[in-house]
Structure 1
Amino acid sequence: MENHAKASSTIPENGDTVVGWSGPKDPENPFNWKTSKRWRVSILVCFMTFAVQINGTAMTSAAEVINEDFHITDEHFPHSYWPVLSWNLGGAAAPMLGLPLMESFGIRWSYLSIYLILIIFLIPQFLAQNFATLIITRIFTGGCTGVLANITSGVVSDIWRPGRSKSFSTSLWIFSLLAGLSLGPVFGSLTVRFASWRWIFLSEVIAYAIFLPFILFLLPETRPDVLLTQRARRIRRETGKTVYASAEKTHLTFKEVIRETLIRPSRMLVTEPVVLFFGLWSAFCIGTAFMFTQSIVQVYSGLYSWTYYGTGFVQAAIVVGELIGLTFSVIQDHLYFTSANRNRETPGSPIPEARLYLSIPASFLGLTAGLFIYAWTSYTTIHWIFPTIGLAFVGFGMSIIISAVSLYLLDMYGKFSASAIAGVAFLENALAAFLPLATQDMYRSLGFNWASSLLGFLALALSFIPVVLMIWGPSIRERSYFIKEAQYDDHEEDVVEAVA
């Protein structure tokens, strides 16, 4: 999702005049916007990521009362999870198509359109007269949320050149994404504590409608191709000159669109070990976050006789850990950028694998250790604060890990990063959809201690992924077609910019 538009003069091409940026300091180039404007846009899209992600998990705190209203039982199977599963399935499929299309056709109006569709499909959820309505409509809200949340990384890449601001903005996006999921049950608990479960969805409709004017007036177009197209049309309208943007001269066939939006992300998942294993690592984190919506209820109600309301509030501990992870991202950025002094492969540039420095201890001592703490402090004789501390450790680990994955993919895959992120998002939502279905039986069959320990052992195995990349990263990158192609194009554009 990198912005590859470099400064160039207006040049003739095949008899037409092609419009480019007027120079390296062209004020319409998003890279050259005022710093205050770029931070305004970054904070806006990150906040909206947080807001729409709440929709994914808020209803889990109301599972008990929704079951009563629709005569559903979780005695033998977690039927109450079906609306969350359908939300994740929508979130898995939609970004594969939506993200690359938004990158091609523009962010602003695509974002607004998808956001309106999200609000529209929330309405039948608070009016639902049967359980099937919830399941079906949440496919659409999950799909909309998946696109809106994940396009944030593209917006960040469009307006920030590589550097500390871009790195922190990406980490802020990851925090917003995770915090929205983790705080969903907290908001759901507050709502059900004082009102009907229908107010969970009604309050979202009201809140999202209030946010709509902010998006309308504060979210500008960020895609360089779209901005240059608008410039070319303006020149044609005002002067009558036959000038065009490069994007206007390129017409993709339906087959090419399908290749760009569906085939390439799937191909990258199959052929790119980095995308596949980073996707599994990140997907395990997201899947664990959704499993907590089930396991926390079982553990805290079983051990401490807490109600659904109380178990929803406990998930705030995960957000505390994620917030700590966000603060540590500043340290990670420092380690990354100072690694340029030690880079023998490309002197003067940061070592790519330096993005992963903190993710290794965060995975071993945060995610893995947190799961084991959560597992082996789950006793009635041990105060509830101790397993809750384990949850905070897990939140810390998840925040650092997913930030590292996202930044590494954005750095390495350049123009292909939209497809890489879409592939990872597919794995994240797929695991988030199906893993929690096994939670209830797993915790009943294995017991609280060993069920959480099983997750801990899986986290331990996945923790070696960044270690492998730290050791063999250069050779893995050398064998990657997509990474080599992306780096070659970046080099060519840098040469063009230097000449211009």
Structure 2
Amino acid sequence: MSDETNQFTSDSSSSSGKQEEPQNLNDELDRLESQLTVDEVDRLYRTATSSSKPLPPMGEGKPYPPLLGSRQPFLVTFDGPDDVEHPYNYPLWKKCLYSLSVGVAAFSLSLGSAMFSQATQEIMEIYHVGWEVGVLTTSVFILGFAFGPIIWGPLSELFGRKLIMTVSIFGSTCFSFAVATAHNIETIVICRFFTAFMGSAAFVVAPAVMADMFSLKSRGKAMTIFAMILFGGPLLAPILGGFIVRNHKLGWRWTTYVCGMIGSSALVLIVFCLGETHHPVILAKRAEELRRRTRNWGIYAAHEDLRLSINEIVTNNIARPVKMLFTEPILFFASLYNGFIYAMIYSLLTVIPLIFEVGYGFKQGNAELPPYVSMIIGEFIGSGILVLFEERFTKIIDRDGKLPPEKRLEPMMIGGVTFVIGILWLCWTGHYHKSIHWIVPAVGSSFIGASLMLIFLPSMTYIIDSYLFIAASALAANTFIRSTFAAAFPLFSRQMFVNLTTRWAGTLLGGLGLILVPIPFIFSKYGKTLRNKSAIAYKD
């Protein structure tokens, strides 16, 4: 039996090797994606045939049947680049609807991550806890973002995007309402963690859904919109949260009621509007339909053979993001830079009140308006710059037929410098609040907002383009680093800004940002070499 299975593997590999050369970039991507799944199936067959365990009987004394030969003629694939069921070829309205469905889910989580921070003081007074415990309600939420994607990302590659998103946003919405109705600090902290843990699929599956639907030429623009949602939530949340907490008819509980309501809307959209976009799962459904309608049981999709045990799921899928993080230099350092920038959003939840409430005397809610509106304006400016780069990238694709992933790093080179300028501008001018008008540090915030887009989005798109066929796993590893940084910073940032003063704490953060500036330049030069040496990265 072992020899027969090895023969199947050999036949499958040789047949695969006889395929015609791809005619364009989409053909090449589809071929590589299909081959990646076939390689995983072959690995499972090799593992099974090397087992010393006796074969189970066929039953009723029947002999083992003869080998049927190569399965390659029965393998279901897409019908060329113009296949109407390929997500790249969905009509624009369907792509927008699917993007909206997962985007609303991501927005509800990103909003919840920072809106609750405005209730910290009230939580401290009601439940008689200190600052560290009060701010822990924000940190554990972000920590949930770190651990959830490690599970949700790989499982979406195994079971499909829609199933995982449905389970994720349903659980998150339930825990969000649990926080809103909690009567003790322990319940609040625990439910805050599980709200983020359950809902964090949106942060890795949503961009994976967009990567499924948008080709290389349009993926950058789609990811720009997603990044604006991802950053727009934490920037808008302090403004909304500040006014909600100040309103005595609402109070702190409504900061999570609002997020739960948005999450409920996302759940409705995902259940009734979102379709499956993961290419191997679509082919598996096509194969099932063909078997039923033709009554040919030999028809199959490569993904259908990936029926893994719990141990195999943990070893080969859930552990994949962690393994990638420490074996792929591109992923590790891009995530490191990405994490530092993301953590700045949550550090600003501390420095903004120190500058505008304590320094300039604004009330809660009003204090968040100047800096965060400025950052949102900067976010739009950064997005505009990214769109200009995307136009340039599109011309390169039209001319060369492809775009090296390292090209995506060019806006990041600008963003690294503007971030250092922005953080120093905000912190130094905000320190001298007695002699400098509040508009000056607010303007400095716009540089930070632009930098968030110029650094975060190119690094994420670079990761997707470099690990296209396991993008959800790569993004899960990225989210783990990013959220770990963001969870840790609020725990010490207030003490840092108080003890070092605003100007010197800002100088420290600016110095760290300056150290990270060379990363995109290094990958621009050596990234292709690192990808070609990798066993799982996309190769030119």
2:425 counterpart letter in structure 1: I
The CA distance in 1 between the partners of 2:330 and 2:200, in whole Å, is 22
Corresponding position of 2:286: 231
Structure 1: gaps spanning 5 or more residues: 489-500
Tell me the CA shift for residue 174 of structure 1: 1.3
Corresponding position of 2:305: 249
Asked whether the equivalents of residues 353 and 367 of structure 2 are also in contact (C-alpha less than 8 Å), the reply is yes
* Equivalent of 2:83 in 12, 26, 31: 26
Give the secondary structure class of the aligned counterpart of 1:51.
helix
Tell me the CA shift for residue 328 of structure 1: 1.4
* Equivalent of 1:358 in 398, 401, 411: 411
1:187 counterpart letter in structure 2: L
Asked whether the equivalents of residues 46 and 176 of structure 1 are also in contact (C-alpha less than 8 Å), the reply is yes
The CA distance in 2 between the partners of 1:24 and 1:84, in whole Å, is 46
Asked whether the equivalents of residues 336 and 351 of structure 1 are also in contact (C-alpha less than 8 Å), the reply is no
Corresponding position of 2:92: 35
TM-aligned CA distance change 1:232 to 1:122, over 3 Å: same
2:108 counterpart letter in structure 1: A
Corresponding position of 2:198: 144
Residue 355 of structure 2 is aligned to residue 299 of structure 1 = yes
Give the secondary structure class of the aligned counterpart of 2:366.
helix
Asked whether the equivalents of residues 335 and 357 of structure 1 are also in contact (C-alpha less than 8 Å), the reply is no
Asked whether the equivalents of residues 266 and 423 of structure 1 are also in contact (C-alpha less than 8 Å), the reply is yes
* Equivalent of 1:333 in 383, 390, 396: 390
1:49 counterpart letter in structure 2: A
The CA distance in 2 between the partners of 1:329 and 1:339, in whole Å, is 15
Corresponding position of 2:314: 258
* Equivalent of 1:123 in 172, 177, 191: 177
The CA distance in 1 between the partners of 2:290 and 2:404, in whole Å, is 43
The CA distance in 2 between the partners of 1:109 and 1:351, in whole Å, is 33
The CA distance in 2 between the partners of 1:255 and 1:69, in whole Å, is 45
Asked whether the equivalents of residues 532 and 539 of structure 2 are also in contact (C-alpha less than 8 Å), the reply is no
Asked whether the equivalents of residues 335 and 354 of structure 1 are also in contact (C-alpha less than 8 Å), the reply is no
The CA distance in 2 between the partners of 1:23 and 1:471, in whole Å, is 34
Asked whether the equivalents of residues 103 and 154 of structure 1 are also in contact (C-alpha less than 8 Å), the reply is no
Give the CA RMSD over aligned residues.
2.4
The CA distance in 2 between the partners of 1:359 and 1:15, in whole Å, is 44
Residue 427 of structure 2 is aligned to residue 375 of structure 1 = yes
Give the secondary structure class of the aligned counterpart of 2:78.
coil
Q: How many pairs align?
A: 473
Corresponding position of 1:114: 168
Structure 2: gaps spanning 5 or more residues: 1-25, 35-68
Asked whether the equivalents of residues 46 and 172 of structure 1 are also in contact (C-alpha less than 8 Å), the reply is no
1:154 counterpart letter in structure 2: A
Q: Deviations over 1:141-175 (max 9, x none)?
A: 11123211221111011111211x21100111111
Asked whether the equivalents of residues 61 and 312 of structure 1 are also in contact (C-alpha less than 8 Å), the reply is no
* Equivalent of 2:129 in 72, 76, 91: 72
Query: Residues 319-468 of structure 1 correspond to what in structure 2 (within 5 A)?
Result: 319-339=376-396, 348-364=401-417, 366-378=418-430, 379-380=432-433, 381-468=435-522
2:343 counterpart letter in structure 1: G
TM-aligned CA distance change 1:61 to 1:104, over 3 Å: same
Tell me the CA shift for residue 13 of structure 1: 4.6
Residue 229 of structure 2 is aligned to residue 172 of structure 1 = no
Asked whether the equivalents of residues 156 and 170 of structure 1 are also in contact (C-alpha less than 8 Å), the reply is yes
The CA distance in 1 between the partners of 2:424 and 2:211, in whole Å, is 37
After the TM superposition, which of the residue ranges 44-53 and 79-88 deviates more from structure 2?
44-53
Tell me the CA shift for residue 263 of structure 1: 2.9
Tell me the CA shift for residue 15 of structure 1: 9.0
Query: Residues 151-170 of structure 1 correspond to what in structure 2 (within 5 A)?
Result: 151-163=205-217, 165-170=218-223
Residue 337 of structure 2 is aligned to residue 281 of structure 1 = yes
Tell me the CA shift for residue 456 of structure 1: 0.8
Residue 375 of structure 2 is aligned to residue 318 of structure 1 = yes
Give the secondary structure class of the aligned counterpart of 2:539.
helix
Q: Deviations over 1:188-245 (max 9, x none)?
A: 1221232211111122223332343222222111112222222222333344331322
Asked whether the equivalents of residues 85 and 433 of structure 1 are also in contact (C-alpha less than 8 Å), the reply is yes
Give the secondary structure class of the aligned counterpart of 1:482.
coil
TM-aligned CA distance change 1:154 to 1:312, over 3 Å: same
1:129 counterpart letter in structure 2: H
TM-aligned CA distance change 1:336 to 1:382, over 3 Å: same
Tell me the CA shift for residue 4 of structure 1: 5.1
Asked whether the equivalents of residues 96 and 261 of structure 1 are also in contact (C-alpha less than 8 Å), the reply is no
* Equivalent of 2:242 in 185, 189, 205: 189
Query: Residues 454-493 of structure 1 correspond to what in structure 2 (within 5 A)?
Result: 454-483=508-537, 486-487=538-539
Tell me the CA shift for residue 268 of structure 1: 2.1
Tell me the CA shift for residue 340 of structure 1: 5.8
The CA distance in 1 between the partners of 2:76 and 2:471, in whole Å, is 26
Corresponding position of 2:258: 203
